[in-house]
Amino acid sequence: MNEDNKHRAIDEHRAERQREKDAALAAVEQALAAIEADSREPDQWERVFLVQAIGWLFRGAYRIAAVDAQLALTPANERSRAANLPADSSLNRFGVSVLRASLREAVAEPLHDHPVFGPVAFAQ
C-alpha cells in the first residue's frame, strides 16, 4: 500500500469512528432527554444501561454505547422480568445531573481509533 492510500485509509477509518461516536453520543443524549421530559430521575433499568453506555464511550466502544443507550429507553412493560441488573447501591448516585456531567466528559474525550476493553480509571 503506498503512502497516499495508507493516509486515505486512516482518514476513512477515523471518519467512520467519528460517525460512530457521534451516533452514540446522540443516543445517550436522546435517552437522557426522554427521562428529563418526564421530570424524573432514571429508574434502576435506565440508570444501569446509561452508566454502561457512558462507560463504553470512554472505552471507544461506540457501537456498544449506542446499543446500551437504546436499551435504556426500553418501555417498562417490554423489559425482561428476570433482568439481572446489578444491585449495587452506588448506582443510585447516578441521577440525571451526574449522568449529564459524565456525558459532557465523554464528549470531550479524544476519539479512540479502536475500542479498549477493561476498566476505566478516572483521575482528578
- Domain positions in the chain are 3-108
Please report which confidence band the pLDDT of residue 120 belongs to, taking 50, 70 and 90 as the band edges.
low
Cell representation of residue 109:
474525550
> What pLDDT does 121 receive?
67
> What pLDDT does 122 receive?
64
Check whether 124 has a pLDDT greater than 60.
Answer: no
In this prediction the pTM is 0.89
- Is 59 within 8 Å of 112 (Cβ atoms)? yes
Check whether 119 has a pLDDT greater than 80.
Answer: no
> What pLDDT does 56 receive?
96
Cell representation of residue 86:
446489578
Compute φ and ψ for 50, nearest 5 degrees.
-70, -40
Residue 79 is given by DSSP the state S
The sign of the torsion formed by the CA atoms of 97, 98, 102, 108 equals positive
Check whether 123 has a pLDDT greater than 70.
Answer: no
> What pLDDT does 3 receive?
85
- Is 75 within 8 Å of 35 (Cβ atoms)? no
